Amino acid sequence: MHPHLKPLIELQAVDLRLIGIREKLAQFPKRLAEVEARVAAAKHEVAAAKESLLTGQKERKTYEMDVDQWKERAKKYRNQTGEVKSNEAYKALLHEIQNAEDEIAKAEDRLLERMVSGEQYDREVKAAEVRVKEVEAVAARERQAIQAEYNATQRELTAADAVRKAAMGAVPEDLVDHYERIAKRHGGIALAEIRGEGCGQCGVHIRPHVIQQLQRENNDAFFHCETCTRILYYGADPGLTGTSASATVSAGDAPNSPAHEK
Ligand SMILES: [Zn+2]
């Protein structure tokens, strides 16, 4: 195996891990926003319930005034009955009194209705306030859990960055540039393992002499897949760490996942 391939494979493994870590980090603002949205929705319910209660109280005042006004009028008409001279005028007055009594009854009905619904609004406000407290308690726990997870992911990022630096240090700078150019074009995957007789990433057939060359212990040449241009390597070197080997396996699935098609 080419002496620079092993650190490149390690670089590839840590880069794949970094892709996952960065995607996870990118999700945190959205996750926090979802928590805040639930709290805001619960608070909005309280505000809406209070608004209904307030409207109900205003209407109640209006209906109370209606009742008073009609009672006042009925009283005024009754007082006038002693002063009328004609039968016609007396009848008309009685009619007015009756009308006022009807209006009093209607206004009292409306008032009663308002008082009943007012109690209902009052209960709704209290229930909504209890719900806000519950939602806020849950949100506080969620925020804490998300923050802890975020901190852990940040530590993971720092550790992976350190591994990346070490892997990069073992490879000449121009080779790192070459690797990064390919990785940028191919969803972060610059390396392709030979699988069977094909490229482990794009599946295209690889010429047998290239495979033979790559299999040689003393090979010191780089070969690229003619189709996807990735740097080819043959099999996991027994000296490779477990993480690198498992990462190259997962690398095979990566091109199909939407996360890598950006
Ligand atoms: Zn390929």
Q: How far is residue 251's CA from residue 11's CA, in Å, rounded to a whole number?
A: 12
Question: How many Å lie between the centroid of ligand 1 and the Cα of residue 194?
Answer: 9
This prediction's pTM: 0.67
User: How buried is 182 (Cβ within 10 angstroms: 0-12 exposed, 13-18 middle, 19+ buried)?
Assistant: buried
Q: How far is residue 132's CA from residue 126's CA, in Å, rounded to a whole number?
A: 10
Question: How many Å lie between the centroid of ligand 1 and the Cα of residue 232?
Answer: 8
Question: How many Å lie between the centroid of ligand 1 and the Cα of residue 156?
Answer: 30
Question: How many Å lie between the centroid of ligand 1 and the Cα of residue 201?
Answer: 5
Q: How far is residue 42's CA from residue 46's CA, in Å, rounded to a whole number?
A: 7
Question: How many Å lie between the centroid of ligand 1 and the Cα of residue 171?
Answer: 22
What are the pLDDT tens digits along the chain (262 aa)? 888 898 999 999 999 999 999 999 999 999 999 999 999 999 999 999 999 999 999 999 999 999 999 999 999 999 998 888 999 999 999 999 999 999 999 999 999 999 999 999 999 999 999 999 999 999 999 999 999 999 999 999 999 999 999 999 999 999 999 999 999 999 999 999 999 999 999 999 999 999 999 998 888 899 999 999 999 999 754 444 444 444 444 444 444 444 443 3
Question: How many Å lie between the centroid of ligand 1 and the Cα of residue 183?
Answer: 12
Between the alpha carbon of residue 179 and those of residues 33, 170, 193, 242, 250, the distances in Å are 37, 13, 15, 22, 18
Question: How many Å lie between the centroid of ligand 1 and the Cα of residue 57?
Answer: 74
Closest CA to 114 of 62, 50, 45, 71: 62
Question: How many Å lie between the centroid of ligand 1 and the Cα of residue 181?
Answer: 15
Question: How many Å lie between the centroid of ligand 1 and the Cα of residue 10?
Answer: 19
Question: How many Å lie between the centroid of ligand 1 and the Cα of residue 226?
Answer: 7
Helix (H) or strand (E) holding 159: helix 87-169
